[in-house]
Amino acid sequence: MSQFAVNMIFIGLSFALYIGIALWTRAGSTKEFYVAGGGIHPVTNGVAVAGDWMSAASFLSMAGMVAFMGYAGSAFLMGWTGGYILLAMLLAPYLRKFGKFTVPAFVEDRYQSRTARMIAVVSLLCISLTYMIGQMTGSGVVFARYLNVSIDLGIWIAAGITFFYAVLGGMKSVTYTQVAQYCVLIVAYLVPPIFISMQLTGNPIPQLGMLSEVGNEGINVIPKLDGILAELGFAEYTGFAADPLNYFLLTATLMVGTAGLPHVIARFFTVRKVAEARWSAGWALVFIALLYLTAPAVASMARLNLMETVYPNGAQADPIDYEHRPDWMNNWLETGLLKFEDKNGDGLIQYYNDASAKGKELTAERGWAGNELTVNNDIIVVANPEIAKLPGWTIGLMAAGAIAAALSTAAGLLMAISSAVSHDIVKVALKPDMTEKGEMNVARIAMLATLMLSAYLGMNPPGFAAQTVALAFGLAASSLFPALMMGIFSRRINGKGAIAGMLAGITLTLVYIFMFKGWFFIAGTNNFPDTAEYWFFGVNPLGIGFIAAIVNFIVAYAVSLSTEEPSQEIQDLVESVRYPKGAGAAMDH
């Protein structure tokens, strides 16, 4: 059986599973549509949270970033997991106690301000839509590679499948579909590294395998990888971050941004009571840990296999001939995510860091003309089984898992966007007398419009598309997270303070990121150079979200202290939310 047929079987069976679940779990009311009826079991919800959280970024990009950045890439591991702990411990149970459908609903009721709610809605839409672009693009790449279709067609296929099960059943359907998608993606993620670890070290546990001896060579995986990279001018895999300040700021931005992601927060509204929200968070951490604790092993062994593919006789010997390249390279060259340019015309694939001191030595000593191979970070995980020459079924399984990761998060984002439009904008602000049926229809129209827009932007990405992490997490960190934290833990913060804080945080984030990412046109130039020399106080735009969050806190407190206190009713409400004894019904005014 051909590899294409195997891929089709795995992808087709997974799609049939998702569609079957959607038909089985159709929503019949707005409560089922928005919060799955509020009766999801904590373990089920924990699996769904894990599926919702582990997007294409976690499945495709994270291990890829660690593989090529080494220790510096651990900022993503620590930031994303640490942020989830913040969310689980400091926000989720208390927001569930408050008992609202959406994050903007909490903001309005807590701060007694419709303006604050609208700012939260705009922030939510910007965060979620930006994230959606990444999910659609990731799905398109996977479909293009494994179904032999164009990336554009792959994006539309992903949009169509997501639209079907999200529109049909809302949060109820999305919840159970995400459970299935988590099961698919985690099996797909864990199986290949088990085989690869056995292949390299004889140890079936990847986490132990990356610390074990490679074959009978007398050297472990990590030291061997460090040695190969050093010989080719790359930074050592275990080398510390060169810029500690920005390493810290990036980690902190990802942490507070994660805790402010509205589509993840919404998952905790689907359980019956506060205690179950806490249990959901605990179970979700277990399920998330299965992937995140495996990612470093996936990254190290994939990078080692890549280097040994190009330099089969060692880094000091000649690289492979382009004419005799392995099949996996052909497959990825067609997608454009792997590129080769024979700069010196010798037919060999020179893959090294030509900008480093060691790389310049190699250029002079070996007659090379510069690095000739460009590897996109996002392909390292899905290409891993092919690079290691694993059986074809593992490749098909990986394809299904990568698609599941992208679609599960896309569905969660779609629910966050549709609820914000139908409930927070149309139902609350424009047409309070709208019926349940009318509200659900508006939500479905919003879903369709969002999918159309995100699919279009996925095919025609704007200039900031490559910076979705900076934009999405920076916005969440600087706007929603401080407003939620202060709303729960401070009785003194009022509506004016919350509004001023959110506006200050959002403005700083947008101005700083767009200034260096190409959207400002000042003095006839397209942008400020995106280099440390021009960054203010050396702060990388990727880490500005944490600083903007601090600005949000300071401004909110300053304005609140200079204006009237919140009403006694609100202060009492804050006190009761901080010390939850039960859960209110998920309802809105």
The dihedrals phi and psi of 408, each to the nearest 5 degrees, come to -65, -45
Examine the domain organization and report whether 36 and 181 are in the same domain: yes
- For residue 90, how far is the Cα from the chain centroid? 21
Helix (H) or strand (E) holding 339: strand 338-340
pLDDT in tens, 498-545: 999 999 999 999 888 878 765 554 444 555 666 777 788 889 888 899
- Is it the case that residue 304 has pLDDT exceeding 50? yes
Helix (H) or strand (E) holding 21: helix 3-24
Of 6-20, 148-162, 222-236, 544-558, highest mean pLDDT: 544-558
Examine the domain organization and report whether 44 and 161 are in the same domain: yes
DSSP state of 534: T
- Is it the case that residue 287 has pLDDT exceeding 70? yes
CB 365: neighbour CB atoms within 10 A? Answer: 8
| Domain end (from 320, 354, 377) | 377
Distance CA 193, CA 204 (A): 8
Nearest to 136 by CA among 530, 432, 407, 332: 407
Judge whether 130 lies within some domain. Answer: yes
| Domain end (from 334, 351, 377) | 377
CB 580: neighbour CB atoms within 10 A? Answer: 18
Examine the domain organization and report whether 340 and 438 are in the same domain: no
DSSP state of 220: B
Percent of the chain with pLDDT over 70: 89
| Residue 348, strand partner residues | 321
Average pLDDT over residues 368-393: 88
Judge whether 506 lies within some domain. Answer: no
Judge whether 341 lies within some domain. Answer: yes
- Is it the case that residue 110 has pLDDT exceeding 70? yes
Do 22 and 177 form a contact (C-beta atoms < 8 A)? yes
pLDDT of residue 523: 43
Q: The domain that contains 150 carries what CATH number? A: 1.20.1730.10
pLDDT of residue 307: 93
Do 325 and 204 form a contact (C-beta atoms < 8 A)? no
pLDDT of residue 229: 93
Distances (CA, A) of 587 to 99, 100, 430, 572: 6, 5, 18, 19
- Is it the case that residue 377 has pLDDT exceeding 50? yes
Judge whether 170 lies within some domain. Answer: yes
Distance CA 374, CA 337 (A): 8
Pairwise pLDDT comparison (101 vs 291), residue with the higher score: 291
Distances (CA, A) of 79 to 251, 253, 473, 517: 4, 7, 11, 22
Beta strands in 366-435 (DSSP E): 373-375
pLDDT of residue 519: 54
Nearest to 302 by CA among 531, 62, 58: 62
- Return the exposure string of 433-445: e unless at least 16 CB atoms fall within 10 Å of the residue's CB, then b: ebeeeebbebbbe
Instruction: List the Cα angle 145/377/198 in 5-degree steps.
Output: 80
The dihedrals phi and psi of 23, each to the nearest 5 degrees, come to -70, -30
The SS3 of residue 169 is helix
The answer to whether the pTM exceeds 0.85 is no
Examine the domain organization and report whether 349 and 274 are in the same domain: no
Examine the domain organization and report whether 73 and 153 are in the same domain: yes
Instruction: List the Cα angle 456/462/465 in 5-degree steps.
Output: 95
pLDDT of residue 522: 46
Domain span including residue 371: 312-377
Examine the domain organization and report whether 427 and 333 are in the same domain: no
Examine the domain organization and report whether 199 and 330 are in the same domain: no
- Is it the case that residue 1 has pLDDT exceeding 80? no
pLDDT of residue 36: 47
Examine the domain organization and report whether 219 and 94 are in the same domain: yes
Average pLDDT, the chain: 82
Examine the domain organization and report whether 367 and 452 are in the same domain: no
Q: Work out how many domains the chain is built from and give that number.
A: 2
pLDDT in tens, 115-166: 999 999 888 888 888 888 877 877 777 777 777 777 788 888 888 877 776 6
User: Hunting for tokens 């690095």 — which residue is that?
Assistant: 371
Q: What is the CA radius of gyration of the chain?
A: 24
pLDDT of residue 521: 45
Examine the domain organization and report whether 155 and 107 are in the same domain: yes
DSSP state of 338: E
Distance CA 165, CA 162 (A): 6
User: Hunting for tokens 């799905």 — which residue is that?
Assistant: 139
Judge whether 320 lies within some domain. Answer: yes
| Domain end (from 436, 461, 486) | 461
Residue 467 pLDDT level (bands cut at 50, 70, 90): low
Alpha-helix runs per DSSP H in 334-391: 357-366, 380-387
Question: Which of 48-52, 204-208, 305-309, 520-524 has the weakest average pLDDT?
Answer: 520-524
Judge whether 42 lies within some domain. Answer: yes
Examine the domain organization and report whether 98 and 165 are in the same domain: yes
Distance CA 102, CA 264 (A): 11
| Residue 339, strand partner residues | 374
pLDDT in tens, 169-202: 556 667 777 888 888 889 989 999 999 999 999 9
Average pLDDT over residues 73-94: 84
Kindly tell me the burial class for residue 429, based on how many C-beta atoms sit within 10 Å of its own C-beta (0-12, 13-18, 19 or more): middle
Examine the domain organization and report whether 192 and 256 are in the same domain: yes
CA dihedral for 512, 513, 516, 520, sign (positive or negative)? negative
CB 457: neighbour CB atoms within 10 A? Answer: 19
Do 267 and 491 form a contact (C-beta atoms < 8 A)? no
Judge whether 560 lies within some domain. Answer: no
The SS3 of residue 522 is strand
Average pLDDT over residues 250-259: 91
Three-state SS for 254-321 is HHHHHHCCHHHHHHHHCCCCHHHHHHHHHHHHHHHHHHHCCHHHHHHHHHHHHHHHHCCCCCCCCCCE
Judge whether 492 lies within some domain. Answer: no
pLDDT of residue 172: 65
pLDDT of residue 584: 45
